[in-house]
Amino acid sequence: MNKFLKAISMLLIIILVFIPTGCWDNKELEERAFVLGVAVDRLKAGDDILLTVEVPKFAAAGGKQAGQVEPMITSHTGPTIFNAIRHFTLSLGKKLFWGNVAIVIVSQDFANKGIFPLIDFFARDPELRLSPFLLVAKATNANDILKGIKGQTETMASEQILGTLKTQNATGEFAADSLHDFVEKLQAPGIQPVVAVIEQASGDKDYIVKGIAVFKDDRVAGWLEVKEAKGYNWLTDNIKGGLIKVDYEEPKAVVVMEIVRSSTKTKVELVNEQILFKPTIKVAVNIAALDRAIDITSSESKEILKKATEEEIREHLEDAFSKLQKIKSDAIGIGEYIYRNNPTYWKTVEADWDVEYFPLVKLEPEIKVSIRHSGFLLKPTKLR
């Protein structure tokens, strides 16, 4: 081979190396609009999808307003999500970039009909990620939520909602699941996905996140209210903090316990065709507040407080469990536990698990509460 041919073939090889590396995009930052939040609605008329996005709008660098960010909310419709996304280029002048989406809100309508199109698109497209958190807008349109947020703590509404979801550990009153969690639960046998619920709030609040939407496959099957949501979190070892209000009988007082640590170990037993769900919950609490000066230092009163706390937790668990059984959706993953530990039995119940078998499961919780300390005060401040 002569030198020239050799050089040409080397060049071709080098060029070929670059071609099969797939698609990627060289775009300057200012040609991109970063989508931070997405709201998905189904239009009342027909099956068209209304897609609303929140993108930051920056002031030009070097100018007087340099560095300032403003939220911009805009929507487009289309027969599918991808169509709607492409329609944005018709009006924006920038290409939407989907790598940094923080939250996805779907409306109740959309969720009722199944969110599979959304999940599929997010999982399939290389630019999108499964990291954003999923929320269901209860009793309102998803885009109304996004539009209604004035931005109280953050400039961008999506950032504020993301912040809200990340502080789940302060209350434990909802479940913050990402699209990734959703997909994982959707695919796993014997467990159903859940999603946090966002609602329009009255007064000076833009929105409120509370409760859980329980799915059956990709459709909403029912709702867990605050107390049930807390119970659900306890059953799934998802409590990282929060408060427990306990009534003290003699003398009558209200004691607020703050959860320091909580761990749940679950066990499922099969006794005479009866499935027993046995979660062991260990909770460490601090006494956070009293509404009356009562003596809480004695071992008897501590014992009483412990019992009362356990009772309170048990009530939460039972509420959540019976609600889930009523919804007929095993969001706790009891089926998954059986699938892992007794696959032969799981095969016999798999087909009708959620409808037939799950509602008959018996809950036998074991709760161990330990009171750590009572804050900076040993005895309550004396009133004179």
Partner 1 sequence: MKKLMKQLKNTAYKKMFSSQEEDSKEELTLKASLANNRHLIKNSLGNSSDIIIRDLLVNGVQCSLVYIDDLADKSKVQEYIVEPLIKDFNDRDRISLNWLSNKVASPEVRFEAKLKEILAYINAGQTVLLLEGETVALILDTINEQYRSVTTPPTELVVRGSHEGFIESISKNVSMVRKRLKTPNFRVIDQQLGLYTNTSISICYIDGIAKDEVVEEVKKRLGQIDLDGILESGYLEEFISDAPFSPFPTIGITQKPDIVAAKLLEGRVAIFCDGTPVVMTAPFLFIENFQTPDDYYNRPYFSSIFRLIRMLSILISFMLPSLYVAVVNYHPDFLPTNFLMTIASASEGVPFPKFIEVIFMGLIFEILREAGLRIPTPMGQTVSIVGALVLGEAAVGAGLVGQPVIIVTALVAISSFAVNFALTSTLIIMRLAFLIGGAVLGLFGVTLVLLGLIIHLASIRSFGMNFLSPLAPLAVSSWKDSFLRLPWWLMGTRPARLSENPVRQKKIKQLKQVSSDE
Q: Which residues bind partner 1 (CB under 8 A)?
A: 18, 21, 24-30, 32, 34, 36, 56, 58-63, 66-69, 97, 99-100, 102, 127, 129, 159
Q: How far is the CB of 288 from partner 1 (least distance, A)?
A: 32
Q: Which is nearer to partner 1, 6 or 265 (CB)?
A: 6
Nearby residues of 30 by Cβ (< 8 Å), 6 or more positions away: 94
305-331 core/surface letters (b: 16 or more CB in 10 A; e: else): bbebbbebbbebbebbbebbbebbbbb
Q: Choose among 243, 241, 224: nearest CA to 320.
A: 224
Distance between CA atoms of residues 43 and 264, nearest Å: 42
Q: How far is the CB of 205 from partner 1 (least distance, A)?
A: 24
Length of the chain counted residue by residue: 384
Q: Which is nearer to partner 1, 77 or 100 (CB)?
A: 100
Distance between CA atoms of residues 42 and 79, nearest Å: 10
Q: Which is nearer to partner 1, 62 or 203 (CB)?
A: 62
Long-range contacts of 268-274 (CB under 8 A, 24+ apart): 268/334, 268/337, 268/338, 268/341, 270/342, 270/345, 274/360, 274/362
Q: How far is the CB of 218 from partner 1 (least distance, A)?
A: 25
CB burial of residue 11 (10 Å; 0-12, 13-18, 19+): exposed
Q: Which is nearer to partner 1, 25 or 247 (CB)?
A: 25
Phi-psi region of 184 (alpha: psi -120 to 50; beta: other; left: phi over 0): alpha
Q: What angle do CA 15, 21, 23 make, to 5 degrees?
A: 115
Q: Which is nearer to partner 1, 163 or 343 (CB)?
A: 163
Handedness of CA 127, 129, 132, 138 (dihedral sign): positive
CA 127 to chain centre: 22
Q: Which is nearer to partner 1, 4 or 18 (CB)?
A: 18
Q: Which is nearer to partner 1, 96 or 363 (CB)?
A: 96
Q: Which is nearer to partner 1, 88 or 357 (CB)?
A: 88
Q: Which is nearer to partner 1, 14 or 45 (CB)?
A: 14
Q: How far is the CB of 255 from partner 1 (least distance, A)?
A: 40
Q: How far is the CB of 224 from partner 1 (least distance, A)?
A: 30
Q: How far is CA 70 from CA 27, 93, 153, 161, 241, in A?
A: 22, 17, 13, 16, 34
Q: What is the DSSP letter of 20?
A: G
Q: How far is the CB of 336 from partner 1 (least distance, A)?
A: 31
Quickly count: other Cβ atoms within 10 Å of residue 345's Cβ: 13
Q: How far is the CB of 67 from partner 1 (least distance, A)?
A: 5
Handedness of CA 12, 16, 17, 18 (dihedral sign): positive
Q: Which is nearer to partner 1, 58 or 312 (CB)?
A: 58
Q: How far is the CB of 287 from partner 1 (least distance, A)?
A: 38
Peptide bond just before 20 cis, omega within 30 deg: no
* Longest Cα–Cα distance in the chain: 106
Q: How far is the CB of 148 from partner 1 (least distance, A)?
A: 22
Q: How far is the CB of 133 from partner 1 (least distance, A)?
A: 13
